[in-house]
Amino acid sequence: MAGDGVRWSAWATIEAPPWDLLSSAGFIIHPDWSDRSKAPAAVPEYRTLVELESAPERARLAMATPGVLAVTINGVPIEQELLAPGYATLAVETAAVVWDVTSALRAGSNEIVLEVGTGIGYVPVADHRYTKYEELDHPPALAAELSLELTDGRSILGTGSGWATRLGRTTEAHWYGGESRRNESEPWVPAVPADRPQDLRWRATPPIHVIETLQAVEIGRSDPGQRRYDLGINGAGRPIVQLGNSAPGRRIELWPGETRLDDGAVDQRSTGGPVFDAFTTDATESCFTPRFVYHGARHYDVSGSTPESEVELSLEVLRVSNERVGCFDSDDEFLRTLQVNIDRAVQSNMYSVFTDCPHREKLGWIEQLHLCFSALAMHYDVEAHLTDAVRHMQTAQQPDGLVPSIVPEQVVFDFFPWKDDLLAFRDDPNWGRAIIEVPWLLHRHYGTSTALRASFPAALRYLDYLESRSERNLLDHGLGDWIEIDRSTPRGLVATFGWAEALRTAARSATALGDPREAARLEHLARTVWSALVQEYCSDDGTWGSGSQASWALGWANPYATQKQRAAALEGLLGSIDAADNAITVGEIGLTWLLRALASSGHSTLLNQLIRRTDTAGYGYQIASGATSLTESWQGPSGTEGIASQNHFMLGAIDEWLVEHVAGLRQASGSIGWRTIVVSPNPPEGVRSARYAFDSPRGPIEVAWRNDDGEAWLAISAPQGCTVIVDAPPGWQIRDLPPRP
C-alpha cells in the first residue's frame, strides 16, 4: 500500500469496553448505613492497603456507587473527574466509572481511600436544608476493583472482606442542600456487604472538569462577621473560600444565591433554600471547597469569619468537558450578549445529564434536548453526551411505553396537577418525543445511526403509547405551551402537534434505517393525526386554536398545508403579534415555530424587534434586568412568584435563528452529516456584521459577512467534499474569508 502513496498512521491500541470489570467485587457499606432506619448523614470512607513488589505497568480502578466519589491514593487526591460516576436509573442500575491510576501507585505499601457522598441515591428531607424530593433507598454503598498489570502477571483486587470503613469528616453531602465538614473522622471498622444492583451503567459521557475559575468581589458586609460577594456572572460549580488570620474553631458558612433581596442578603427563592456549605476552621486548613455537591449562583454570603480575617472567595465552574466546536460573533452587542447568556445557561446545565437548572432541581427534563438542539450541537461536540441521554431514555421507558419527562426519573411528579392533569409533569408528548427527535437529530447532524438504530424499537413503543391515550386521533394531556404568557392556547392542540411531529420524525428515521414499509405506515399515521388536528383546531374562518401566537405558529408548521393555507397562518400570526403590541406571548413549544415562521418568511427585522423589547417580558427584558445567563421565565428575575431559575436553557431555541439566519449557515434540507450546506444570511435591519466558525462533523466551516456604508460582502470557507449552496442577498459580493480579529 505504501507504494500506492497511502500513508499509514502509527499503531493504535483499541480497548474493549470494561464489561468484565467489577465482576469479582462485592458491594460494601458502612454498618451504620446498612440499617435504613437510622442511617447517619456523615459520608462513609472505604479503605484498603495494597502491597506491591514493584510499581505496576498499568493500573485501573473501576468503581460503582449510587453516590459521588472522591478518591485518595497514598494521601494524594485523585481528581481525574469530578462528581463521578454520574446519574443512573437507580431502581435498575448503578453508575460505574474506570480511572487509570498507574502513576499514583508505587512499590511497597499503597493506601487507597474512597469517600462516597450521598449524591442522588440518598436525599433526605431535613428542616435545615432544602431538597427537591426525598430518596432513601440507595445509600452510599461502593463496589471497587483494582486491576493491576505487573511484571509477573495480572492481579485483581476487589471490595469485600478486608476493607475497612469509617464515617469521615464530611458530615452532610446533601445533593440539593449543601455540604458540611468537621475536623475529625471516626475510627475505622470492618465494612459489611451491601445489596448488588441489577446492572451497572458505565459512564459514556466525557468527564466533568473545572473549566474556569471566577474570582468573587466583596461588595459589602451586613455585620463584621458576614461578607457579601458577587461573582459577576451566574454560573455553576463549587465555591472555594480561603481564610487568613482566622482563629480555629469557627464555623464558616457559605450561602449561594442568584439574586439579592432588597436588604442586600442573598435571595434563595429561585434556587431553593436553605442551601449552604459549612466547615469549622482548624490550625492546619485555611481553604475549603465542597467535594460532593455543586451549586448554581452569582452571589455568596460568607458568615462566621472575624473582622480581621482575610477572606477570598472564588467559584470553580464545572461542566462536562464537551469540546467547543462553534463560535458566533456580531458587531451587535445585544445579539452577542444574548448568545453568551444562552451559552452560559447551557454550560451551567452540562452535567452528567443535561439538567434544567443547577440548583433547585438538577433534573434531566428532556424536551430541551430537541427544542434547543442548535444551542447544544452547534457550539459543542455533544454526540457522546446526547447518545448517552438516549440510553437513559430507553432505560427509563415504562412497560406501557411511556417515556417520562425527567430522565433518569429521580422523582415521579404524580402529585402536582397542571391544568387539571395530575400527570402533566410526567407525561407530555413534547417531552416524551425526545426518544424519537434526539436520535434523529444526532443522525442528521453527525451522520451516524448508532443511537437511531438502538432506540427505534423504544420509539415505536412510545408511539403506541400515545395512540393508546388518543381519542379520535387527538391527544389532550400534558403541560401545553409551557411558560406561555398567553395561556389561551388549547392544550390539546399542543399535545396533538407533538404526537404528529413525532410520527413524521419516526417516518424519516425508518427511511434512514432502510425500512420503507414502516416509513410509509408512520407517514400515513402522521397525515391522519394532522388531518384530525386541522379539523379540530382550525375553525371555518381559518383561525387556529384560540388565535394566540402559539396557535398560529403551530398551524403554520403543518407540513401538509397548501401554500395558501400556510400564508394564511402566517398572516394570522403577524396579526396576533400586532395585537400583542409586538411582544412575545408564546411558551416553550410555540417558541420554536414562531421563530421559524418569522425567520423563513423574511420577517427577521420584526423578530429582531420582538426579542429586543426591554419594557415587556422577553429576551431583551431579561438582559435589561441584569441576567447573565438565560432564565427560566420570560420575566427574568421578576418571574412568577420569584421562584423562576435564573439559569435555564429551555428558551435557547433562539440560537437557531442566530446561527442559521443572522450568521447564515444551515445544513440543507435532506442533507445528512453536513454533506450539503446552505449559506444564506437574512440579517435584520441594523445588524451590520456576523461571523460563525463551526468545526462541523465534516470539517471546519466558517461564514462571515459585513454590510456597511452601502458595501456588502459574504465570505465562506468549507471542507472539500462538502457541497455549498450560496443564497446571498442581492448586490452582495463574494470575497475571501478575512482573518479573525
**Which domains, from first to last, does the chain contain?**
28-205 (2.60.120.260), 209-320 (2.60.120.260), 382-537 (1.50.10.10), 676-735 (2.60.420.10)
| The pLDDT of residue 2 is above 90 | no
Pick the closest to residue 237 from 217, 266, 210, 275 (CA basis). 210
Give the contacts of 703 (CB within 8 A, at least 6 positions apart).
Answer: 663, 664, 665, 679, 681, 691, 692, 714, 715, 716, 717
Segment 572-595 mean pLDDT? 97
- With cut-offs at 50, 70 and 90, classify the pLDDT of residue 244: confident
The residues, ordered by sequence, that sit 6+ positions from 192 with a Cβ below 8 Å of its Cβ are: 28, 29, 30, 31, 34
Residue 643 is predicted with a pLDDT of 65
Q: Which of 135-144, 339-348, 378-387, 411-420 has the lowest mean pLDDT?
A: 411-420
Amino acid at 638: S
Asked if residue 16 has pLDDT above 80, the reply is: no
Strands, DSSP E only, in 321-365? Answer: 326-330
Instruction: Tell me which residue of 431, 386, 442 sits closest to 409, measured CA to CA.
Output: 431
164-175 tens-digit pLDDT: 999 999 999 999
* Separation between Cα atoms, residue 277 and residue 302, nearest integer Å: 10
Percent of the chain at pLDDT exceeding 70: 96
What's the mean pLDDT in 82-106? 96
Alpha carbon of 426 to those of 367, 387, 409, 501, 589: distances in Å? Answer: 12, 22, 9, 19, 16
Q: Is the pLDDT of residue 263 over 50?
A: yes
Is the pLDDT at 568 greater than 70? The verdict is yes
How many angstroms separate the CA atoms of 50 and 48, rounded?
7
**pLDDT (tens digit per residue) in 203-228:** 899 999 999 999 999 999 988 779 99
Compute CA distances 308 → 19, 148, 254, 301, 722, whole Å. Answer: 55, 51, 18, 17, 64
Summary mean pLDDT of the chain? 94
The string of pLDDT tens digits covering residues 180-191 is 999 999 999 999
In this predicted structure, the answer to whether residue 683 has a pLDDT above a threshold of 50 is yes
In SS3 terms, 185-207 reads as: CCCCEECEECCCCCCEEECCCCC
Give DSSP secondary structure letters for 404-436: -SBSS-SS---SS-BTTBTTTTT--HHHHTHHH
Q: What mean pLDDT is predicted for residues 302-322?
A: 92
Q: Look-up: residue for cell 471490595?
A: 159
Q: How many CB atoms sit inside 10 A of residue 734's CB?
A: 11
pLDDT at 367 over 60: yes
- pTM value is 0.95
| Residues of the chain above pLDDT 90, percent | 86
Q: State yes or no: pLDDT of 283 exceeds 80.
A: no
Helix axes 434-446, 491-512, angle to 10 degrees: 40
pLDDT band at 15 (very low <50, low <70, confident <90, very high): very low
pLDDT tens column, 656-665: 999 999 999 9
- DSSP assignment letter at 484: -
Distance CA 295, CA 577 (A): 38
pLDDT, tens digit, 9 for 90 and up, residues 496-518 = 999 999 999 999 999 999 999 99
Read off the pLDDT band of 155 (50, 70, 90). confident
pLDDT of 241 > 90? The answer is yes
Q: Is the pLDDT of residue 640 over 60?
A: no
Burial of residue 109 (CB within 10 Å: 0-12, 13-18, 19+) is: exposed
pLDDT, mean of residues 264-282: 94
Helix/strand/coil for 210: strand
**Predicted pLDDT at 6:** 52
If you average pLDDT over residues 654-677, what whole number do you get?
98
Q: Does the pLDDT of residue 471 top 50, yes or no?
A: yes
